[in-house]
Amino acid sequence: MKLVKEFRQFLLRGNVVDLAVAVVIGAVFGAVVSALVADLLTPLIAAIIGEPDFSNLTFTINKSVFKYGDFINAVITFVIVAAVVFFFVVRPINALISRSRREPPSDPTTRRCPECLSEIPIDARRCAFCTSQVTPQ
């Protein structure tokens, strides 16, 4: 009984639920992008090239059929998904991380107390936290 309770707690933990939602949304997003490529972009490219159905492009060697049109569809789908992930996930996360790691101002206004290591004003003669005397800088 305890094992079932622990397993239920594990499943209902936020990370597992978030991961499950992300996988479902990712699968649906992949299907939408695949449909976009197969139904809109590839026919547009095929119309420019002059081939009526881009996904049916094949060649045959020794009775083996190579469907390079499907491969091109998959490559276009991959590039679109990678671009969306890069521009809507990676770049914003990198921007947030770089903002959080900004360098402190070049002209510091505080320093550490040598006794308690608290932040005190740079011109202070006594620490406000531990009341020890400090030499002004």
Three-state secondary structure readout of 25-72? HHHHHHHHHHHHHHHHHHHHHHHHHCCCCHHHCCEEECCEEECHHHHH
Same domain, residue pair 93 and 123: no
How do residues 103-137 score in pLDDT, each as one tens digit?
666 667 888 998 899 999 988 889 988 988 888 77
Same domain, residue pair 15 and 62: yes
Place of tokens 């005397």: 133
Same domain, residue pair 137 and 91: no
Same domain, residue pair 87 and 123: no
Same domain, residue pair 61 and 91: yes
User: According to the model, what pLDDT value does residue 104 have?
Assistant: 62
Same domain, residue pair 88 and 116: no
Structural domain boundaries, residue 24: 2-102
pLDDT bin (cut points 50, 70, 90) of residue 69 is confident
pLDDT bin (cut points 50, 70, 90) of residue 62 is very high
Same domain, residue pair 22 and 72: yes
Query: Above 80 in pLDDT, residue 84?
Result: yes
How do residues 4-60 score in pLDDT, each as one tens digit?
888 877 777 767 777 887 888 888 988 888 888 878 887 787 778 776 666 778 889
Same domain, residue pair 95 and 122: no
The domain total for the chain is 2
Q: pTM above 0.85?
A: no
Same domain, residue pair 9 and 75: yes
Same domain, residue pair 40 and 86: yes
